[in-house]
Structures are given as C-alpha cells and as structure tokens.
C-alpha cells in the first residue's frame, strides 16, 4: 500500500510518499505525477515515510526525472538508510538529487563536532 499526498506551492509540487513503492503501487504514483506536472518547475519527492522501493518504483522516479529535466528540477528528500542503500546499489544516488537523507545528516553532524 502506498499513500500519496501532494501539495502545490507556486511552481513547486511536493509528493509525500508513505508505504511501499512497488509493482502494485508504482502505476498510481506514475499517474499522479504525469497528470500533475503542467506548470511545475520544481518537483520534490518526500520519502520520509517511504518504507520500500522496487525496480518498478525506480522506473517511475527515472521517468519523472526525465520529464522534469525538460521543464525544471527534481529532488528526492528525507531518504531513510534502507532506501538510500537501494539508490546506491542501483546507481540512482548518482543521478537523483537527494537532500536530507539520514546518512548525509549523520555525516554532517560528525563533521560539525
């Protein structure tokens, strides 16, 4: 199950995901994103409550990134360690702009000490 909430603020669209982004739920997210991008210059995918992402979910993120590269920017925020590991294993950590993930925060905290 995946709960998707979206919030539009000026030209920034934020999708907050809760649950599992897999082959069962990825089509729902894809439809939501593709039907919402008109006039969007910044797409934010908030993964704070995302528990799992499969290859089908990664495909949706990649498709959204390709579309947003034509009209603006996309970033993924609040990524937990488990999801970040998936992004790293698949190379998605190299192509996605990822902010506020747990590993980055822990590293920044250590550097500040």
pLDDT in tens, 11-23: 999 999 999 999 9
Which of 110, 46, 111 lies closest to 83, judged by CA? 46
Instruction: Specify the pTM.
Output: 0.86
CATH number of 2-112: 3.40.640.10, 3.40.718.10, 3.30.750.24, 3.40.50.2000?
Answer: 3.30.750.24
Q: What is the token pair recorded at 110?
A: 């250590």
Strand-strand pairing, 42-53 and 98-99: unpaired
Q: What is the token pair recorded at 98?
A: 């990822």
* pLDDT tens column, 62-86: 999 999 999 999 999 999 999 999 9
Would you say 11 and 36 are in contact if contact means Cβ atoms under 8 Å apart?
A: no
Strand-strand pairing, 12-21 and 2-9: antiparallel
Phi, psi dihedral angles at 94 (to 5 degrees): -85, -25
Q: What is the token pair recorded at 40?
A: 């969007």
Domain boundaries, the chain: 2-112
Would you say 90 and 57 are in contact if contact means Cβ atoms under 8 Å apart?
A: no
Query: Which 3 state secondary structure label does DSSP give 10?
Result: coil
pLDDT at 113: 53
Report which of residues 109 and 7 the model is more confident about.
Answer: 7
């Amino acid at each position: 199950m995946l709960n998707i909430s979206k919030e539009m603020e000026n030209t920034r669209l934020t999708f907050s995901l809760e649950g599992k982004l897999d082959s069962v739920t990825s089509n729902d997210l894809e439809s939501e994103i593709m039907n919402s991008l008109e006039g969007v210059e910044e797409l934010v995918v908030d993964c704070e409550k995302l528990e799992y992402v499969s290859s089908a979910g990664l495909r949706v993120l990649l498709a959204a990134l390709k579309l947003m590269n034509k009209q603006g920017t996309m970033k993924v925020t609040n990524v937990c360690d488990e999801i970040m590991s998936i992004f790293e294993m698949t190379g998605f950590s190299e192509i996605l702009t990822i902010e506020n993930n747990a590993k980055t925060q822990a590293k920044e905290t250590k550097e500040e000490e």
